[in-house]
Structure 1
Amino acid sequence: MTDEPVGGVRVCRVFLVDDHAVFRSGVRAELAGQTGIEVVGEAGSVAEAVAGIGRVRPDVVLLDVHMPDGGGVAVLRSVLGADPSGAPATYGAPATSGTADASGTSEAPVSTFLALSVSDAAEDVIAVIRGGARGYVTKTISGGELADAVRRVADGDAVFSPRLAGFVLDAFARAAPGPEERGEPVHDPEVDSLTPREKEVLRLLARGYTYKEIAEKLFISVKTVETHASNVLRKTQQSNRHALTRWAQSRHLD
């Protein structure tokens, strides 16, 4: 956190990254009333996020996982230079104090990243933690809980929504088997044809959510959900929702 106290409380400078402007406004409003937290910037794309984080040097970045141009992992790789293989020794490193280079110039501290996503899928959690995030919370979190999570990751703690920590422990306690070890094809043309948003809709459909519930979780309209669902059915060549659910389960996409 910054060393500049406000009323005796150190202020944590936060940067918001999410492709939904309305959601960013809601988070900003929630955090505005929280002691010791200041939102110092926001971005709606990977490029804007990388530029803004480099310019502002926030203490904590609240990072959306799925965005049209690469998502949270792309931001992490650009800002932290994260190893896409996700070696356990480097994941989730907390922000450090400034270090001096050979010329004696002090570098700014590295920002700490906290994923804030609608997705609670294990693969999403593991990907961003391997990319360098310090924690992962879902968008069902309350304003007070989010503020507490921000403060904790800024202080070096790892923070996860309930049950998500188990995904990370399992992934780093033992190497997760890849597609070949599971007897699955390395590439599946039908899966590869789906966009990130279509995969989100597919997972929620496979879990039994209604179109209205999916719309609420993803902050999109019911009509948009219907369009994505129609695209998924067409690309996967499935005739109905029940067949699609079986198809998703067979590919571990539920």
Structure 2
Amino acid sequence: MNEHGAVRVVIVDDHAMFRRGVRAELEATGAGVVDICAEAADVDEAVAAIAAHHPDVVLLDVHLPGGGGAEVMRRMPWPDARYLALSVSDAAEDVIGTIRGGARGYVTKTITGPELVQAIQRVAEDDAVFSPRLAGFVLDAFAGTIDVAAVDEDLDRLTEREREVMRLIARGYAYKEVAKELFISIKTVETHMSSVLRKLQLSSRHELTRWASDRRLL
């Protein structure tokens, strides 16, 4: 906490536009409650910022250049920091892997500003924060009803960006919508989609949707 009792936060995300949006939202709805002390765009920047600023809570994207959010937590630059994942992905293996890596909570980027401020406060107090759907994934995983290892083996063939494209396409997003969601061009979406289908040995987006549904990735 800073001298006024506000929760000190570092925002970690590789999209500058998204970081600016989160900062603006937190400054508007979390004034006096949240103190943003730094931002970072990749693993090395995150580790340096956390080590320098000693935040109470790190808002951490799951898929980051340099090893992902799990690598930031593994390097543990400040032992008292608590981690709240803020990700576009709500896939079971991302949620479970992030919690196993040390995060206290996991929320998606559809969260509202006031909800995010509340989640940050709860995590700072060492509470665990999930949406109901994501909490179900965690409970299922630790109850043994999701075979995380089998899902990981399939997904290991894909890059982090390919996974993001795969999930959105499988949910029925148009290429234009995927491009807007991930801040990439439509041509890049098409390239990633072709690579996903090739690596998973699938022939259409309909087969991809069925593949993802069978693995509880939607």
TM-score by length of 2: 0.87
Are residues 1:24 and 2:19 paired? yes
Are residues 1:232 and 2:202 paired? no
2 CA distance for matches of 1:227 and 1:25? 28
CA displacement, residues 145-196 of structure 1 (integer Å, 9 cap, x when unaligned): 11111111111211112311111122234475454xxxx69955xx543211
Are residues 1:113 and 2:80 paired? no
Report matched runs for 1:1-254 at 5 Å.
1-2=1-2, 4-5=3-4, 10-33=5-28, 34-35=30-31, 36-79=33-76, 110-174=80-144, 176-177=146-147, 179=149, 187=153, 191-249=155-213, 254=218
2 CA distance for matches of 1:14 and 1:140? 19
2 CA distance for matches of 1:186 and 1:241? 20
The structure having more radius of gyration, on CA atoms, is 1
Structure 2 regions of 5+ residues with no counterpart?
none
Higher helix share: 2
1 CA distance for matches of 2:208 and 2:102? 34
Structure 1 regions of 5+ residues with no counterpart?
81-107
1 CA distance for matches of 2:65 and 2:93? 18
> 1:133: Cα distance to partner?
0.6
> 1:247: Cα distance to partner?
4.4
1 CA distance for matches of 2:65 and 2:38? 20
TM-score by length of 1: 0.76
CA displacement, residues 1-55 of structure 1 (integer Å, 9 cap, x when unaligned): 34x12xxxx1111001101111111111111122311110011011111111111
Cα distance change of structure 1 residues 186 and 133 upon mapping to structure 2, 3 Å threshold: closer
What's the C-alpha RMSD, in Å, of the aligned pairs? 2.4
CA displacement, residues 190-234 of structure 1 (integer Å, 9 cap, x when unaligned): x54321110221122222222223223323333322221122233
2 CA distance for matches of 1:174 and 1:237? 28
Cα distance change of structure 1 residues 219 and 142 upon mapping to structure 2, 3 Å threshold: farther
> 1:115: Cα distance to partner?
0.3
1 CA distance for matches of 2:71 and 2:169? 26
